[in-house]
Amino acid sequence: MKFEKKELNDNQVEITVEADKDQFQTAKIRAAISISKGSKIPGFRPGKAPYDVVKRTYGEELIEERAVEFLVNQIYPDLLKEAEIKPHGPGNLEEIISKDPPKFRFKIPLEPVIDLGDYKSIRQAYKLPKVGKSEFDKVLENLQLTYATAEAADRPAEKGDLVSVKINAVLNKPDKDQEPEILKSTPHQVIIGELSDEEQFPFNGFGDQLIGLKAGDTKEFTHKYSKESNYEKLRGKEAQFSITVDSVKSLTKPALDDQFAKMVGLEKYTDLEESLKLQLETRTKNEYENKYFDDLLEKIIKKAKLKYPPQMLDDEIKDVLKSVEQDIARQNLDLDTYLKINNREKEDFIEKDIKPSAIKRLEQALVIDEISRLEKIELDQKELQKEYTKTFMQMQSAPNFRGLQKEFTTKKLSNMVVMQAASRLMNQQSLNKLKSIANGEEGKKIEEPIAEEENSNKKLMEEK
């Protein structure tokens, strides 16, 4: 077997290989037998028809087509070994150059090449913010509002009321090809003065426009969206709003006592306070660490040299798109409808929205995997068992769990959970290692014992 190897710029390799003629002839005989087994040839039992009969009946082209499959499957593993190729995944037969002699061209994706450089020199302080009283009060007030009772109010709306409205809105100066109408008789409920960490619909402070209005009242006003608005199509745009109030209801919030705690499934109000504080601290930590590791990994990626085949990115794009489709489905929409509502073409959406997210996710995963290898991260079996139990319990509570049970055997499902738990635990340990390096903790752990030893030696010398 003779071959020529050519490295490509996209972390793939192109191999042109010439196989032995006798190998191809043997493959043609196997192909004829295979065709004979799967067909009825008068006068012969399946698989027993002579080569010439199969050739006369089905044509040499079909035999050669099947023979190429047999030959490629035979020589491909040896080709990888002789050419010293470590593939990321299956290669593609790009071209059958000739059949006499049998000559083929393959394109094979290579394993990613990762050089993180001096990642240990990167510094980023880890300063977890403390949860303040105002954040706690906000969470507590929102919980109270969830359990508040509503009663129709025959008076103008005021802060704390639940107001139902219909909203019409149009852009004053829409872009070319942009629909001016934003909202048309859209029903909406708002609690005036409600606190939220997210941008409220249709904009922050909308409830203030309702103060002083009664059921049946209408009001017109303009609002200019900020350039940082979550509503991308409305950033920097001015819109004309027209609202009609359907109803005004006063809300009576439950008292902050043990009875309120029982309403949310706890025994005492002090239990509720502790539970909310823990939830808020956990959420604050998760949000901070997501941003912290996102920034840290970005710094590492900027200094690193990463090469990976296009197939890896294609697979990641499919995964990200699938996740987006699942998120959209929770809003009772499909992707086509979502794109139509947002006036987007699918190809443009994938290129501008999905692909950048896929690149970021793929490159972060490659960096984390390389960190685990370089830092020799090993899993603790006790921790793995805890993570497995936690993952399995979460999976059991998922709405598609019964479907998974039907799709996989108990053993396969258990193996899948183990893999997920191990992957998540390995990633977390790798990130924690990165944090200790970037925060300067790793050096301190090494320096402190040395300092103690020096002090001990100094004291010994003084005693002498």
For residue 299, give the CATH number of its domain.
1.10.3120
Between residues 445 and 288, the one the model is more confident about: 288
Q: Are the beta carbons of 112 and 34 closer than 8 angstroms?
A: no
| DSSP conformational letter for 464 | -
Mean pLDDT in residue range 124-148:
92
In a domain, 135, yes or no: no
Closest CA to 193 of 179, 170, 209, 182: 209
The predicted structure's pLDDT at residue 451: 46
Q: Indicate if 330 and 192 belong to the same structural domain.
A: no
CA–CA dist 62, 50 (Å, integer) = 15
Give the H/E segment covering residue 114. strand 113-115
The token duo for 46 is 């399946």
Let me know the angle formed at the C-alpha of 194 by 189 and 199, rounded to the nearest 5 degrees: 80
Residue 400 has pLDDT above 80, yes or no: no
> pLDDT averaged over the chain?
89
Q: What average pLDDT does range 405-418 have in this prediction?
A: 74
Matching residue, tokens 């859209």:
186
CATH code, 96 = 3.30.70.1050
pLDDT in tens, 23-78: 999 999 999 999 999 888 888 888 889 999 999 999 999 999 999 999 999 999 99
CATH number for the domain including 231? 3.10.50.30
CA distance 41 to 49: 7
pLDDT in tens, 68-110: 999 999 999 999 999 999 999 999 999 999 998 999 999 999 9
Residue 23 included in any domain: yes
Q: Is residue 156 part of a domain?
A: yes
CA 416/CA 250 separation, integer angstroms: 51
Examine residue 140 and state whether it is found in any structural domain, yes or no.
no
What is residue 449's predicted lDDT score, i.e. its pLDDT?
A: 46
- Residue 438 confidence (pLDDT) above 80: yes
Q: How far apart are CA 61 and CA 36, in angstroms?
A: 15
Q: Indicate the pTM of the whole model.
A: 0.74
pLDDT tens by residue, 155-189: 999 999 999 999 999 999 888 888 899 999 999 99
- Say how far apart CA 396 and CA 389 lie, in whole Å: 11
- Is 90 in contact with 76 (CB distance < 8 Å)? no
Does pLDDT of 410 surpass 80?
Answer: no
List, for residues 284-332, the tens digit of each pLDDT value.
999 999 999 999 999 999 999 999 999 999 999 999 999 999 999 888 8
Average pLDDT over every residue of 439-449: 63
**Are 153 and 245 part of one and the same domain?**
yes
User: How confident is the model at residue 393, as a pLDDT?
Assistant: 78
Are both 388 and 320 inside the same structural domain? yes
**Least confident range of 148-162, 375-389, 403-417:** 403-417
Residues 379 and 232 grouped into a single domain: no
Whether residues 294 and 418 fall in one domain: yes
Phi, psi dihedrals of residue 387, rounded to the nearest 5°: -65, -35
C-alpha 194/C-alpha 253 separation (Å) is 13
Percent of the chain with pLDDT over 90: 71
Task: Establish if 258 belongs to a structural domain.
Answer: no
Give the position of tokens 């893999």: 419
Task: Report CA-CA distances (Å) from 88 to 15, 16, 111, 115, 356.
Answer: 15, 19, 4, 17, 22
Q: Are residues 282 and 335 in the same domain?
A: yes
pLDDT category, 20, cuts 50, 70, 90? very high
- Nearest-angstrom CA–CA distance, 86 and 56: 42
Pick the closest to residue 39 from 71, 69, 66, 73 (CA basis). 66
- Region 144-155: what's the mean pLDDT? 93
Query: CA 23, CA 199: separation in Å to the nearest integer?
Result: 68
Q: Is the CB of residue 71 less than 8 Å from the CB of residue 19? A: yes
Query: Which of the pair, 341 or 336, is modelled with greater confidence?
Result: 336
Question: Measured between alpha carbons, how far is residue 315 from residues 78, 93, 370, 456 in Å?
Answer: 27, 19, 20, 58
Number of domain units in the chain: 3
Give me the domain span that covers residue 48. 2-111
**Are 298 and 421 found together in one domain?**
yes
**Strands (DSSP E) found in 238-376:** 238-252, 305-307
Question: Does residue 121 sit within a domain?
Answer: no
Q: Is residue 319 part of a domain?
A: yes
Distances (CA, A) of 267 to 67, 138, 182, 273, 282: 75, 22, 47, 11, 22
Cβ atoms < 10 Å from Cβ of 193: 14
Strand partners for 187: 166
Residue 228 tokens read as 């940082």
pLDDT (average), residues 250-268: 94
> What pLDDT, on a 0 to 100 scale, did the predictor assign at position 461?
40
Evaluate whether 300 touches 119 at the Cβ level (below 8 Å): yes
Same domain for 283 and 235? no
> How far apart (Å, rounded) are the C-alpha atoms in residues 198 and 201?
9
For residue 447, pLDDT over 50 is answered with no
Reading phi first (left if > 0) and then psi (alpha if -120 to 50, else beta), residue 253 is in beta
Pair (161, 247) in one structural domain: yes
Question: Cα(124)–Cα(67) distance, rounded to whole angstroms?
Answer: 59
> What pLDDT score was predicted for residue 343?
80
Tokens read off for 77: 């593993």
Mean pLDDT calculated for residue range 188-208: 87
Cα 120 off chain centre by = 27
Shared-domain flag, residues 242 and 301: no
Task: Mark whether 433 and 386 lie in a shared domain.
Answer: yes
Look at residue 131 and tell me if it is in a domain: no
Same domain, 298 and 408: yes
